[in-house]
Amino acid sequence: MSNWSDREFPDTICLFDVDGTLTPARGVITDHMKQTLIDLRKKCVVGFVGGSDFVKQKEQLGDNALDLFDFCFSENGLTAYREGKPLPGNSFLQFLGEDRYAKLVNFCLRYIADLELPQKRGTFIEFRRGMVNISPIGRNCTREERNEYEKFDLENKIREKFVAALEKEFPDYGLKYSIGGQISFDVFPIGWDKTYCLNHLKDEGFKTYHFFGDKTFKGGNDWEIYNHPVITGHAVNNPEETEAILKETFKL
């Protein structure tokens, strides 16, 4: 197991949200950002943490994502890699059980059916290993439709109201709801937000933890880790701000 002695600051780790932090929203990482991360790895340990599965994350970060980062945390760390090798995982379905999961899905489908939206597409519920992702418009929308829906959602609080309805319907399920990205929100067990990935880092000897994210507001999917007591949080609006903070902090 590496002790990170090749880094200038071996007891420091930088963790990054993916969407809107390392990449544009649902976009791909730039060569410039890749080089910034390569330079950063000479200074400290580097990892990413996101709610999407690893296949989707590779679409944004590239097929060499395992080589670009020391730690890769998909689905908030329920699927995890250290230096390219898998770490122990967990399962949302195992936590909730088939009966409760079916009731949750049925409620969501009925709720979406009754929503009046400018557009609806497909894949309203995406089942993942550590969570379900709910999208009122459907994840199959185009980039243009995604941008239009985001504006509509902000004006009409569609996702915010949806989450409130779920909290009222399933108060005893032990679930948390986190709005992230442009078109959807995540549903996962309490404690399985992005702070879950920190369980994989407890024995690494890190003394300083930096986290960069764009959804650090309350209810956003970066809120919990951004406010965790061991974390030094950096709120950004785009990858350019991420790079600027890194260059200033680590003299890249």
Catalytic residue ranges: 17, 19
Q: Could you identify the residue written with the tokens 């400290």?
A: 44
Closest CA to 37 of 29, 49, 46: 46
Distance CA 66, CA 124 (A): 29
**Whole-angstrom distance, CA of residue 109 vs CA of residue 157:** 18
Return the half-sphere exposure (C-beta side, CA atoms, 13 A cut-off) of residue 220.
18
Classify the phi-psi angles of 238: left when phi > 0, otherwise alpha if psi is within -120 to 50, otherwise beta. beta
Q: d(Cα 243, Cα 252) in Å, to the nearest integer?
A: 9
Half-sphere exposure of 17 (CA within 13 A, CB side): 34
DSSP designation for 23:
B
Whole-angstrom Cα distance, residue 187 to residue 112? 15
